[in-house]
Amino acid sequence: EIVLTQSPATLSLSPGERATLSCRASQSVGSYLAWYQQKPGQAPRLLIYDASNRATGIPARFSGSGSGTDFTLTISSLEPEDSALYYCQQRSNWPPLTFGGGTKVEIK
């Protein structure tokens, strides 16, 4: 099973600042990594697929990078509505599909 480790657990930043979220895989997942945003009481929303491709309708301030075992989700200029939990997920080697433990982004 591929284990995904996200860091930091919580990120507290001000509007307009840059957020950098990390996801590290226990073995290579190639580029088969997705990022999701989840707000309280809502289903997850796909932000990025295949490491760096923005999903339809996702603002350009969200970008993904990385390959192999190290991946980054960057929010270039935080908006208040970006306050949420963010999860990474790999589809390289499954079953099982696995998700990271999540990073909480708080807007000061």
Partner 1 sequence: QVQLVESGGGVVQPGRSLRLSCGASGFTFSSYGMHWVRQAPGKGLEWVAHISLDGSDEYYADSVKGRFTISRDNPKNTLYLQMNSLRGEDTAVYYCAKERGDYADFRSWGQGTLVTVSS
**With CB under 8 A as the contact rule, which of the stretches 16-24, 65-73, 74-82, 93-101 interacts with partner 1?**
93-101
The rounded distance, in Å, linking the Cα atoms of 27 and 90 is 11
Q: Are strands 33-38 and 70-75 parallel, antiparallel or unpaired?
A: unpaired
**Among residues 23, 25, 78, 98, the one that binds partner 1 under rule CB under 8 A:** 98
Q: How many CB atoms lie within 10 A of CB 79?
A: 12
Q: Are 105 and 22 in contact (CB under 8 A)?
A: no
In Å, what is the CA distance from 83 to each residue of 78, 102, 106? 9, 13, 5
Stretch that binds partner 1, among 19-27, 61-69, 72-80, 86-94 (CB under 8 A): 86-94
- Taking residues 42 to 71 in sequence order and writing x for each that binds partner 1 by CB under 8 A, - otherwise, the string is -xxxx--x-----xx---------------
**Applying CB under 8 A, which residues contact partner 1?**
34, 36, 38, 43-46, 49, 55-56, 87, 89, 91, 94-102
